[in-house]
A and B are shown apart, each in its own frame.
Chain A
């Protein structure tokens, strides 16, 4: 943050090769919490209705959290906000690493990219200049080569780089943006949006100190957060085993999405778990994002096969998507798949999803068993075939052969291939679902349906419904009045749980903290976040005001989608999870239904102040949050009033 606690936004226009500065004062920060909140405001304002997410008019906002660069534990994250090429709707995608702190130390809080360059270009943002560099020498290089070569060419060993791999260059709609080598803003195809702008990389470096208004008070709340993290069992667990530590437990609950969500359990889950990674010597090092004492990030290397393959990760989502989803029950093959996704710049969730869809389509005879690999050969589509999975990853990144069909995501692939293949395309809003079994977790089902980006866990992560930890059970008791509602298979009180988690997530992203600290472990509370923001800015914000600001952000993002024509009809779950029962040994009828989801949606829209029929924020709701410009954008046409 600027020394006065406000926000300095660097706007870059790639078409004009020009820059300008915009500033937001403290009250605006308190209104929208900085970071993601301001980024969503800028997106709504600067990117009007119907803009092509792959066109020059598209806007891409890089927003480190308001506290990024300080010692607030886990506050190193950056949210990238834009319109998703995959869904055509609002997208926020968050990355860890050190890039966000680098942008802050260069003297900027938020970077907004407008326009498109005519040639491959990189940006170098330092505290002395913003340069537009020729990136033709890096075009075609993978993420690791790009990061390595740029640091060398710029003669800046400590530069931090956010870039795209070949997949982003090829406008693959499952391409993400990578930073600090292995940290991904993966979801929603924002890498394709960057590629469409001919923007290969954004390098940041600086020596501008960050000051907080009340250093002693800020230190105290940071210390409290550190101590809470150190004392929270779930945080220790994630530090020990990484996010993939939850593979075994999820499998034991029979809620582990196996073989494209056909089953909830697999025999050899240990082989693809964080425990196996740690105990069997695949784990090389534990790593932290900037200012994070949890250190769930891994750096791993193969042992038995795919010799020499090493990379950051893998995370739960990657191991679950390739290991369980594609039936790749071999850690070495998973590590190679993870490395390929990292260096090619692919979202491992979506990439593995389209591969699962292809395997199932071949099994059901909708696509041939052998498909063209684009290099004169063929790939055999067969579950668990590591060679096929690894070949398909590269084919997707380079749009080679059948990979081109898969490269636009599973919804597009199902449309191209036809038949019943849309039924096993596990997507909604055009986004492939992340590896959570919503048929066994009803708050997740609702959160996935209402998530403006599509069905995944990083908008509202209502993990408390499982009651995994004392912290989670206490939160459920606080929000619903009784700890018995910490039960994933019931629908009662789930809308309240989802609303709280979405709000907590909006604060978390906006301040730059990690949901690992605020949501899945509940170590850092909204009250502590309010104290952090107040101490940092000198502008007093309490917990209630944090929630109100979070609701403002959620309404802005919802309004972006409403302006594009989305609403209740889009708040749905993948067909398979609505119509096919998940087999389980507990005798639970594990499936979602229109009736059950519809009832939760009604209640959720009421909590949010959104119209039950359309799912669009009511004008009165927007006005009560002080979002007049949003209300007029949605309701300016005559006859559209719905107060």
Chain B
């Protein structure tokens, strides 16, 4: 499987089911601040939009990591943090232009999406389809899957 998480902010209602599912799956508890998917909410205007890792083919976070703790999974194509090797320097947070990496200050390690071995919990629970997993049928160039890119052939996960 090779694919990417695609978000549609217009559909996000800010229910935080994705953060709750993510933190339960990865941390065994409900702690939205430890989720790998982050929903930015502006309660005054009821704005909400999810931020998820794009799993770049040529990931700046991995380049920035001084110890090579950011690796690409051969099965899913997910860029993940090897927490054994992570030294908590936060260089990857700086390097990610999407702001998709956060930090667990208790454990002193970077937190990022690992695509849940190809079955992302956030996609599973999202009630509106604001986060979807789009799998590539054929690999194209370095651009991301998305409705705006007609060159990329893709199928929806569902």
- A residues with CB within 8 A of B: 69-71, 73, 97-98, 105, 144, 147-148, 160, 180-182, 207, 209-212, 215, 219, 226, 229-230, 239, 284-295, 297, 299, 310, 312
Q: Give chain B residues whose Cβ lies under 8 Å from the Cβ of A289.
A: 15
CB contacts (< 8 Å) of A70 on chain B: these are 20, 30
Q: With a CB–CB cut-off of 8 A, which chain B residues contact A144?
A: 44
Give the residues in chain A near B34, CB-CB below 8 Å. Answer: 209
Taking CB atoms and an 8 Å cut-off, the chain B residues in 1-42 that contact chain A are 13-17, 20-21, 23-24, 27-31, 33-34, 41
Closest to A210 in B: B30
Q: Are A209's CB and B17's CB within 8 A?
A: no
Interface locus among B45-53, B60-68, B143-151:
B45-53
Tell whether, in the assembled complex, residue A291 and residue B44 are in contact, meaning their CB atoms are under 8 Å apart.
no
> A180 contacts B17, CB within 8 Å?
no
Closest Cβ of chain B: how far from A162's Cβ, in Å? 12
Chain A residues contacting B45 (CB-CB under 8 Å) are 284, 299, 310
Docked pose: A148 CA to B43 CA in angstroms: 10
B127 within 8 Å of A (CB atoms): yes
Q: A211-B28, A211-B30, A291-B17 are in contact. List 10 more A-B contacts (CB 8 A).
A: A70-B20, A97-B43, A98-B41, A105-B31, A182-B46, A209-B31, A226-B127, A284-B45, A288-B14, A299-B45
What are 29 sample pairs from A and B whose C-beta atoms fall under 8 A apart? A71-B21, A71-B30, A73-B17, A97-B43, A105-B31, A144-B44, A147-B43, A180-B43, A181-B43, A209-B31, A209-B34, A210-B29, A210-B30, A211-B30, A212-B29, A226-B17, A284-B45, A285-B13, A287-B13, A287-B48, A288-B13, A291-B17, A291-B20, A292-B13, A293-B125, A293-B127, A295-B127, A297-B13, A310-B45
Given contacts A71-B21, A181-B43, A226-B125, contact A293 B15 (CB under 8 A): yes
Across the interface, B13 reaches (CB within 8 A) one of A212, A219, A286, namely A286
- A209 touching B30, Cβ below 8 Å: yes
Set of chain B residues within 8 Å of A182, measured between Cβ atoms? 46
* Docked-complex contact B24 and A219, CB < 8 angstroms: yes
Residues of B within 8 A of A (CB): 13-17, 20-21, 23-24, 27-31, 33-34, 41, 43-48, 125, 127-128
Q: Which of A73, A209, A297 contacts B29 (CB 8 A)?
A: A209
Check if B24 sits within 8 Å of A290, measured CB to CB. no
Bound CA span A294–B125, Å = 12
Q: For B27, B46, B127, which residue has the most chain A Cβ atoms within 10 angstroms?
A: B46
B70 to chain A, nearest CB (A): 25
Chain B residues closer than 8 Å to A71, beta-carbon distance: 17, 20-21, 24, 30, 125
Whole-angstrom CA separation of A440 from B13 in the bound complex: 36
- Chain B residue nearest to A158 (CB atoms) is B41
Q: Is the CB of A211 within 8 A of B127?
A: no
CB of A284 within 8 A of CB of B46, answer yes
Rank and list the top 9 A-B pairs by shortest CB-CB distance, nearest first. Answer: A288-B15, A293-B127, A299-B46, A209-B31, A71-B20, A288-B13, A295-B13, A209-B29, A210-B30
Specify which chain A residues have a CB less than 8 angstroms from the CB of B13 in the assembled complex. 285-288, 292, 295, 297
> In whole Å, how far is B36's beta carbon from the nearest beta carbon of chain A?
15
Contact present for A210 and B15 (CB under 8 Å) = no
Whether A147 pairs with B44 at a CB distance below 8 angstroms is: yes
Given contacts A287-B13, A287-B48, A291-B15, are A209 and B27 in contact (CB under 8 A)?
A: yes
**In the complex, which residues of chain A have a beta carbon less than 8 angstroms from the beta carbon of B44?**
144, 147-148, 181
CA distance A288 to B48 in the complex (A): 10
Give every chain B residue within 8 A of A147 (Cβ-Cβ): 43-44
Q: Which residues of A contact B14 (CB under 8 A)?
A: 287-288
| C-alpha gap A511/B33 in the complex (Å) | 23
| A300 to chain B: closest residue by CB | B46
Counting chain B CB atoms within 10 Å of each CB, the highest count among A98, A288, A295, A297 belongs to A288
Inter-chain contact B128/A295, CB cutoff 8 Å: yes
Who on chain B is nearest to A284 by CB?
B46
Shortest Cβ distance from B127 into A: residue? A293
Contacts of A180 in B (CB 8 A): 43
The answer to whether B43 touches A285 (Cβ under 8 A) is no
- Are B24 and A291 in contact, with the CB atoms below 8 A? no
- On chain B, the residues within 8 Å of A160 by CB distance are 43
A-chain residues with CB within 8 Å of residue B128 when the two chains form the complex? 295
Task: Chain A residues near B47: list those with CB within 8 A.
Answer: 285
For A295, the chain B residues whose CB sits under 8 A away are 13, 15, 127-128
A147 CA to B42 CA in the complex, in Å?
12
Residue numbers in A under 8 Å from B43 (CB-CB): 97-98, 147, 160, 180-181
Chain B residues with Cβ under 8 A from A181's Cβ?
A: 43-44
Beta-carbon contact of A211 and B46 below 8 Å: no
Residue of B whose beta carbon sits closest to that of A235: B127
With both chains docked as a complex, state the minimum distance between the C-beta of A339 and any C-beta of chain B, in angstroms.
Answer: 12
Closest to A208 in B: B31
Question: Which residues of chain B have C-beta atoms less than 8 A from A310's C-beta?
Answer: 45
Contact (Cβ within 8 A) A312 B125: no
CA distance A89 to B80 in the complex (A): 57
CA distance A239 to B128 in the complex (A): 10
CA distance A289 to B21 in the complex (A): 16
Please give the distance in Å from B99's CB to the nearest CB on chain A: 15
Residue of A nearest to B21 (CB): A71
CB distance from A207 to the nearest CB of B (A): 6
Residue of B nearest to A219 (CB): B24
Q: A148 to B44, alpha carbons, bound, how many Å?
A: 8
Q: In the complex, which residues of chain B have a beta carbon less than 8 angstroms from the beta carbon of A290?
A: 15-16
